[in-house]
Chains A and B, each alone.
Chain A
Amino acid sequence: MKVTLLVAAFAALASAQSIKRAADGKPDLSGVWQSGGVSLYGEPGIAKAPPAPVNPPPKREPLPYQPWAAEKSKTFTPVDDPTLRCLLPGIPRITSMPMPFEIVQTPKEVVIAYESFHAFRIIPISAKLEHPNDLVPTWMGDSVARWDGDTLVIDVTGFNDKTWLSGTGSFHSEDLHVVERFQLNTDDTITYTATVTDPKVLTKTWVTGAVLRRPPNTRVEEYECIENNQDAPHMEKAQNKAK
């Protein structure tokens, strides 16, 4: 029994020690990360697949819309996508954009700088998880973080109702509340999960996730999306032609 416990303790220790840690002992999430896209995975069907992650995120279920919300969701088309007009994707959608982002971590705050749509989040770390009391609804909401053991938990609220959660028509209300979890794994991936609640439009909690990997030789660069954005008028024309 003692031997078994000892072996288990050593195994737990080895596992805990094999992730990169910051000076304060917390997992070191800093660096450039990306969840997908050809610049990470290569061309589908041509590139060599990365090894399966050691800690895959939960399988994503369809959005559990209330009946009226399911009907409303169907009225949207890709032309209504806020990101088509280069507007901020909101959370958790921004994590799935096929562009890198950099996490900068200190004991007191985490900054996430996204290439996509020039988004940034400056997130204080505090066990209290208190949001400011003067929030005005915004595209990316207000984020506060705490450590839950080795997992960074970010609580996000204060959203406007203009972003989409994932695919076409995945609208939400200003009551959206997202809890993100960033867990660094021994294969140097991050398991990202977002737990989404919105009692005005959803019947229950919805969970989505992604595996974050370090794109090789990549730094976060400029993406000035509105510079030459011809797609919205083109898509409107295509849609009108199809009617």
Chain B
Amino acid sequence: MPKWNALLFAIVGVTLAAVPSFAHHSFAAEYDSKSITLTGVITKVEWTNPHIYFYIDVKDANGNVENWAVEGYPPNTLKRTGFSKDDLKIGDTVTVTAYRAKDATNRVAGREITFPGGGKKFAGPAAAPTY
């Protein structure tokens, strides 16, 4: 592990009351820690607090289409980390690495989004941050 990673852990881990992956709720109480990958077409975007949601139509191996909800950071956090509302365009096909909801519905906490042009941005926290 690089030295600065250890340092970051020391600073973040010691000085904060928690390492808040989400500002207002516990990540682990809602989502799995194992990531899955979904590819689908964006059908709806909710640029809202306390978290953004966008929805994608995902086709399975049999051609059945299911709509999945992807939760992300709050809008201000995304804006400050360089993720714009305009990055999510209805009709675009995106690939999402994400953590599935523990209630087993079609809902995930989004981590890395790959956009049509190949660019990648983080939409939400890692379930198990690699400090």
Contact = CB atoms under 8 A, between A and B. Distances in A.
Contact of A83 (B12, B25, B122, B126): B25
Given A35-B15, A44-B130, A96-B16, A235 B50 contact: no
User: Is the contact region of chain A dominated by helix, strand, or loop, or is it mixed?
Assistant: loop
B53 to A, nearest CB: 7
B30 A238 contact: yes
Among the interface residues A41, A81, A218, A238, which one has the most CB atoms of the partner chain B within 10 A? A238
B50 to A, nearest CB: 5
Contacts of B103: 234, 237-238, 241
Interface stretch (B34-42, B59-67, B70-78, B91-99): B70-78
B129 A36 contact: no
Contacts of B30: 231, 234-235, 238
Contact of B24 (A36, A77, A83, A239): A83
A37 B102 CA distance: 24
A144 interface: no
A240 B7 CA distance: 38
Interface residues of B, number: 47
A226 B24 CA distance: 11
Contact of B26 (A36, A44, A78, A165): A78
A18 B22 CA distance: 36
B101 interface: yes
Contacts of B4: 48-49
Contacts of B16: 35-36, 96, 210
User: Is the contact region of chain B dominated by helix, strand, or loop, or is it mixed?
Assistant: loop
A46 to B, nearest CB: 8
A242 B26 contact: no
Contacts of B51: 228, 230-231
Nearest to A166: B17
Given A36-B15, A99-B76, A241 B131 contact: no
B76 A39 contact: yes
A59 to B, nearest CB: 6
A38 interface: yes
B50 A238 contact: no
Contacts of B71: 230
A115 to B, nearest CB: 7
Among the interface residues B53, B76, B104, B105, which one has the most CB atoms of the partner chain A within 10 A? B76
A86 B131 contact: no
A50 B8 CA distance: 8
A49 B8 contact: yes
A167 B80 contact: no
Given A224-B49, A238-B29, A97 B101 contact: no
A59 B14 contact: yes
B90 interface: no
Given A166-B17, A223-B76, A228-B53, A81 B12 contact: no
A49 B11 contact: yes
A97 B76 contact: no
Contact of A208 (B17, B74, B102): B17
10 contacts: A37-B77, A49-B4, A60-B17, A79-B29, A98-B77, A99-B77, A115-B76, A211-B11, A227-B50, A228-B48
